[in-house]
Amino acid sequence: MNEATLAPGADTLVAAVKAVTAVAHEGLSSDDALAHAEARKDRAAVRAITLGTLRWYLRLAPSVARLVNRPATDLAPPLRALLITAAHQIEYSRGAYEVSVHLAVDAARGLGLERATGFVNAVLRRFVRERIDLFAAVDADLVARSAHPDWFVRAVAQAWPLQHEELLAANNLHPPMILRVDLSRGGSVASYLRELAAEGRAAQAIEWMPGAIELEHSASVNVLPGFREGRVSVQDTGAQLATHLLDLKPGQRVLDACAAPGGKTGHILEYESELKDVLAMDADERRLMMVSSTLTRLNREARVRRGDLTRSEALADEPLFDRILLDAPCSSTGVIRRHPDIKLLRREEDIAAMAGIQRYILERCFSHLAPRGRLVYATCSVLPEENETQIQSFLANNPEACLLPWPDHLVMPPGALQLKAGVQLLPGTIAGTDGFYYACLGLESSL
């Protein structure tokens, strides 16, 4: 059946099911899986259904599996994704159950599953009738109740025994939209709040982070005053800390080591306009183009260069840097609320592999730190292997390296965990940030 002949709403469901299939069965990121829907008028709805389904996939899948008289893995991927996406709509959307079932049956036709319409109808009707008992059974287990993979629940329970339940719950909430106001060039939080208020947008300043504003309701960046001219950017408060931790001063050479898509490069340039040199490096050519367009929007300049920092030649012809931001590639387990696909895509064995890459890049960057310099190591991970354990083993292997203190001028985010090595922000704490880890490193000899 042609999608155009489907009932209104069923074609939206078809597009969402295709995206869920691509993530759950083909390993695509949700951004890549949703690319096909970018030009659609209903793209916001497709996105919301897809991300909502991925957020709760690991709770919905075992519930639906109990209604199917064969191993769920025997179902064709689009059929399985359709049942789980429709179950999401029944459980988590405000639509009437009958309508959700009806749309799913129609969507089955749109997906070329004409022969399965009776099956879809029967399974979903049972789901509607039995869902309270189904969830009571699957929710007995924290893994299903929190809709996270088993290995991750074990890892955070071990790392953060006091915080892990709040962390898992926070990962399932809709993330706040946080703005960073460019405080150079005469911008201020108070005046930007007035501009938002004039457009009927409720928002509030975040007390502990200069320049940060939380919008009451998320909005497209295109409707934000001054976004196109670079007066404001979207950046989680936890991510905004990185630039403040660099403690930038005029005349310094700065390396933004893993820079793409350039969120922090832009912040660095806004924060201190008298830097001598800013090099934004990244291994990924395609993502580096995003750095260039970020800088164009912000009307700022930096050197943008491709370089694989696991390789010795990456910085061979570069001078030493006074400040290095190493926002390392990581498991991204601190940003699950923004990218619920991570729950399905990340594997336990990825963590050790990530930690190995981080170790190489950290060694390479640290060898390019000038005397009296400061290197900020950052990840958006909540796993110690990529964070405190990584830094402790780096310090043990590099006696010339030492931890530097949190800058005096910078407020510690409420609820931040001050570890023996570094500071950990966890989702679910009072600051309301994504999960981040920061450690500031310097050379022992220059203290």
Which residue, 49 or 376, has its beta carbon nearer to ligand SAM? 376
Which residue, 18 or 300, has its beta carbon nearer to ligand SAM? 300
Which residue, 126 or 287, has its beta carbon nearer to ligand SAM? 287
Q: How far is the CB of 1 from ligand SAM (least distance, A)?
A: 41
Which residue, 91 or 236, has its beta carbon nearer to ligand SAM? 236
List of residues contacting ligand SAM (CB under 6 A):
258-264, 282-284, 287, 308-310, 327, 329, 361
Q: Which residue has the tokens 């509030």?
A: 204
User: Active-site positions?
Assistant: 380
Q: How many helices and strands in the chain, by DSSP H and E?
A: 16, 13
Q: Which residue has the tokens 């640290």?
A: 366
Which residue, 266 or 373, has its beta carbon nearer to ligand SAM? 266
Which residue, 322 or 386, has its beta carbon nearer to ligand SAM? 386
Stretch (H or E) spanning 36: none
Q: How far is the CB of 204 from ligand SAM (least distance, A)?
A: 24
Which residue, 263 or 435, has its beta carbon nearer to ligand SAM? 263
What does residue 130 show for φ and ψ, rounded to 5 degrees? -110, 5
| Cα 51 to Cα 40, 168, 283, 348, 416, distances in angstroms | 16, 16, 28, 22, 28
Residue number of the CB atom closest to ligand SAM: 258
Which residue, 106 or 282, has its beta carbon nearer to ligand SAM? 282
375 by Cβ neighbours in 10 Å (0-12 / 13-18 / 19+) ranks as: buried
CB–CB of 18/25 below 8 Å? no
What DSSP assignment string belongs to 134-189? HHHHHTTSHHHHHT--HHHHHHHHHH-TTTHHHHHHHHTSPPPEEEEE--STT--H
CB–CB of 421/392 below 8 Å? yes
The full 3-state SS of 322-391, as one line of letters, equals: EEEEEECCCCCCCCCCCCCCHHHHCCHHHHHHHHHHHHHHHHHHHCCEEEEEEEEEEECCCCHHHCHHHH
Q: How far is the CB of 310 from ligand SAM (least distance, A)?
A: 4
Q: How far is the CB of 283 from ligand SAM (least distance, A)?
A: 4
Q: How far is the CB of 301 from ligand SAM (least distance, A)?
A: 17
Q: How far is the CB of 434 from ligand SAM (least distance, A)?
A: 11
| Cα 35 from chain centroid (whole Å) | 17
Q: How far is the CB of 325 from ligand SAM (least distance, A)?
A: 7
| Cα 39 from chain centroid (whole Å) | 23
- Long-range contacts from 337-340, C-beta under 8 angstroms, 24+ separation: 337/170, 337/171, 337/172, 337/173, 337/174, 337/175, 337/427, 337/434, 338/175, 338/236, 338/434, 339/29, 339/30, 340/30, 340/51, 340/54, 340/55, 340/57, 340/171
Q: How far is the CB of 137 from ligand SAM (least distance, A)?
A: 39
Nearest CA-CA partner of 19 in 91, 84, 66, 98? 84
